[in-house]
Structure 1
Amino acid sequence: MYIFNQSTRYITGVVNVNWLPVLLSSLVDGTTKLLGVPNESMVIGMCFDTTASNTGKLNGACTLLEKAMGRNLLWMTCRHHKFEVLLADVYNVCLGPSTGPEILFFKRFREKWTEMNHTPEVRSIPLIIVSDAIKAFIKCQLKVRHSRDDYLEFLLLAAQIVGLQVDVAIRKPGALHRARWMAKAIYALKIELLFTVNKTIFNLTARELQGIQRLNRFIICVYLQSWFSCRLTADAPVNDILLVQRLHDYDDAVLDSTGLKMMLRHFWYMSPELATLALFSSLLSDKEKTDLFRTIQADRGPHLMKTLPQSFDNLRASKTFFETSNIDASFLDVLVKTAQILLLSKLQQCL
């Protein structure tokens, strides 16, 4: 459920009334349905991009909305926006910053498209060698119906570059402006897949080729799993921990550091209030959830902490999550499995 922080004003006679739309997004086919437009008193959270205009401590929209409503709201940041920032930071390290609305390096590739051979070279060894777990994740995601065509295109290109058998032609390049989230990943994968059969046409420098290969390896080994898992709100704190662990284990120290710095600026879902969502994630065992229960704290904690949690043991839940969302927290006194059933029932009542 996404509750947006932008008000729509309806005029009823001489009285101004502010309302907020509530949308429900399907995890099955990505469709979105307007559930209703409740009065502000029913709003429990905000979904927003992590720009300073939204998150500023003094004059950010989120802070001002909380002050105007006189109560706490859940700060539920846009997961896709965070990973868009991660990819942009890593791209800048690998290939340098690009000015203007379009990425000039990819624009060269698009302009040469009609001169190229569009069939990748057949290889016995894939361009990027990965674990069976990553291959299994890509296969699983290929079976899911995605709301956007470029999500599927990203997956198909990833499957090709790691050696999975997929029968698909590489599409003609389209939009590459910065507002298209997938552009950097899609274009980088296409360039490496087609480079061998188009060396003279691409005319890449050694630095550019190395940068593309470095970027693609990060995209496949670190980034891809986070991008396609970030829609699941209950799993968000766990997925953030898993990303931190992948970054620590990655063998490129510069990209490792770049990713961790981005996480330190954007790890909202590991704050105590939102980390409480991990209690209802299928990725944690009952024992890990019980341990999380035992360390639950009374205050909401800061939205961004000073250090990144390194493991699930470092997560701290907060009772304010239940207060802010108007959920009776009495189920905290029962066993984990029973508590999950009770909470799901309460959430359905709230919706």
Structure 2
Amino acid sequence: MCFDTTSSNTGRISGACVLLEQKLGMELLSLACRHHIMELVIGAAFRVCMGSTSSPEVPLFKRFQDYWRFIDTDKYETRIAADDLARLVDDIKQSTIDFANKHLEQSQPRDDYKEFLELVLIFLGATPAKGVRFMSPGAMHHARWMSKVIYSLKIWMFKAQFRLTLTEERGLHDVCVFAVRVHLKAWISAPLASGAPYSDLLLLKSLLEYSSIHLAISKATSNKFSGHLWYLSPELVGLAFFDSRVSSSTKRLMVSAMQSEDDQEQEHTKRITIDLDSAKNKNLEHFVTAKSAKLFRMMDLPDGFLTVDPDLWEDRHDYKLASETVRSLKVVNDHAERGVALIQEYSGFITQDESQLQFLLQVVNEHRRVYPDSRKQTLSGQPYIGTKQFCLYFFKAKYKLIKILIFFLFS
């Protein structure tokens, strides 16, 4: 199961995840959406710096969106202007630039992820491969994952043209530093299933060490993140066996801990709790127990490689086979988020009637069944029984919805 960590999903009694396991009569792996978790972390940092609001939109972002037409995008500021504050980003400047450029060369699943990477480069004084450009401010509601960092970086770089209070300016500065130093790498690396345990441990330590820069942010974010350590649970920490960043010595200790017979029976939990005072001294092997073998049983992964030295794993067929399966795991639900947003937008243009909306969903589902792909041999089959009804809906839609239609038919 890949899911957002809302109480409606994760509730112990009536959460959707619990109900699914009850209906299926089996235990499932709980792959909490790592982007949703990272959003909770940056949200905690944002509240510390900018305060909280009951409005669905951030008032500062709304002001900036309305003022955007007066902004000269050729006049922007980079980095931290004051010399006494430049040290907060200078020590990680080059490594962050290299990281951003590397991932910009790869295909990003969403445009706002790409925009985040480009804004960080501009903020640090570098120039993206396609040049400096600024997109017009878009959605800003709290449910949009990237709005906080994208708006904060833009407003900071154009603060000379946009009126800010001293409190707002200082708050934006702190958000930008946190986004560049901590949030960027955690967010972009989130979709990697094999790297989830090690990345989460590194992130937790980074949040605790951030106290040397901003104590309030460190405390708020580490407390928030400590409640979402899904991938350091005994069942999922075994994903780190397939992480190339984890040393062979650590993997040996993990194997030894998993084979230990001294593992005491603990209360069943999908996520762990950890004493933050001792977290800095924790390594991956400290989270491995005999229960960690459950990952191999539940996913039917070959585990013969565990009997040999980790230095030899890369050359073994069973390790490669298990590694391919792990890499295919989805630990973010970006596609589900995009699908929900698209169907809401699409259906809103066509009908507001619930019964008609349900019919539309059935037509799309039937079309996917009959035409599972867009290959010529598939499309040249028997006529689709729902084509007439579907076309009636389509011609009511506006032209700009064509790309949404294609997404639902062939994604």
TM-score class normalised by the smaller sequence: 0.7 to 0.9
**Counterpart residue type for residue 343 of structure 1:** Y
Q: Which runs of 5+ in 2 are unaligned?
A: 329-411
Could you list the per-position Cα deviations for residues 257-316 of structure 1 after superposition, in whole angstroms to 9, with x for gaps in the alignment?
A: 111111111110011111000011011011111111111167796322221544324331
Cα separation, 2, equivalents of 1:47 and 1:103: 29
Q: How many residues align?
A: 302
**Counterpart residue type for residue 96 of structure 1:** G
Cα separation, 1, equivalents of 2:123 and 2:198: 28
* Cα contact 2:34–2:191 (8 A) shared by 1: yes
Sequence identity percentage:
33
Residue 62 and residue 208 in structure 1: after superposition, are their counterparts in 2 closer, same or farther (change >3 A)?
Answer: same
Higher helix share goes to which structure? 2
2:231 matched to 1:269?
yes
* Cα contact 1:247–1:256 (8 A) shared by 2: yes
Residue 130 and residue 138 in structure 1: after superposition, are their counterparts in 2 closer, same or farther (change >3 A)?
Answer: farther
Cα separation, 2, equivalents of 1:258 and 1:347: 35
Match of 2:349 in 1: none
RMSD: 2.3
2:187 matched to 1:211?
no
* Cα contact 2:227–2:273 (8 A) shared by 1: no
Cα separation, 2, equivalents of 1:349 and 1:149: 28
Cα separation, 2, equivalents of 1:216 and 1:121: 15
Higher relative contact order (CA 8 A, sep 6+): 2
Higher strand share goes to which structure? 1
Out of 140, 149, 152, the residue aligned to residue 114 of structure 2 is: 152
Match of 1:194 in 2: 158
2:147 matched to 1:183?
yes
Q: Secondary structure at the match of 1:319?
A: helix
Out of 294, 297, 301, the residue aligned to residue 327 of structure 1 is: 301
* Cα contact 2:97–2:126 (8 A) shared by 1: yes
2:38 matched to 1:83?
yes
Match of 1:233 in 2: 193
Q: Which runs of 5+ in 1 are unaligned?
A: 1-45
Out of 161, 182, 190, the residue aligned to residue 222 of structure 1 is: 182
Q: Which of the two has higher C-alpha Rg?
A: 2
How far residue 347 of structure 1 moved from its aligned partner, in angstroms, is 6.2
Q: Secondary structure at the match of 2:142?
A: coil
Match of 1:139 in 2: 101
Q: Secondary structure at the match of 1:135?
A: helix
* Correspondences of 1:23-38 after superposition (within 5 Å): none
Cα separation, 2, equivalents of 1:179 and 1:195: 25
How far residue 163 of structure 1 moved from its aligned partner, in angstroms, is 1.6
Match of 2:7 in 1: 52
Report the TM-score, using the length of structure 2 for normalisation. Answer: 0.68
Deviating more after overlay: 130-139 vs 265-274 = 130-139
Residue 124 and residue 147 in structure 1: after superposition, are their counterparts in 2 closer, same or farther (change >3 A)?
Answer: closer
Deviating more after overlay: 288-297 vs 336-345 = 336-345
Out of 248, 261, 264, the residue aligned to residue 286 of structure 1 is: 248
**Counterpart residue type for residue 81 of structure 1:** H
**Counterpart residue type for residue 176 of structure 2:** N
2:321 matched to 1:345?
yes
Deviating more after overlay: 330-339 vs 243-252 = 330-339
Residue 273 and residue 120 in structure 1: after superposition, are their counterparts in 2 closer, same or farther (change >3 A)?
Answer: farther
Cα separation, 2, equivalents of 1:148 and 1:116: 25
**Counterpart residue type for residue 150 of structure 1:** D
* Cα contact 1:94–1:212 (8 A) shared by 2: yes
Cα separation, 2, equivalents of 1:273 and 1:267: 12
How far residue 65 of structure 1 moved from its aligned partner, in angstroms, is 1.8
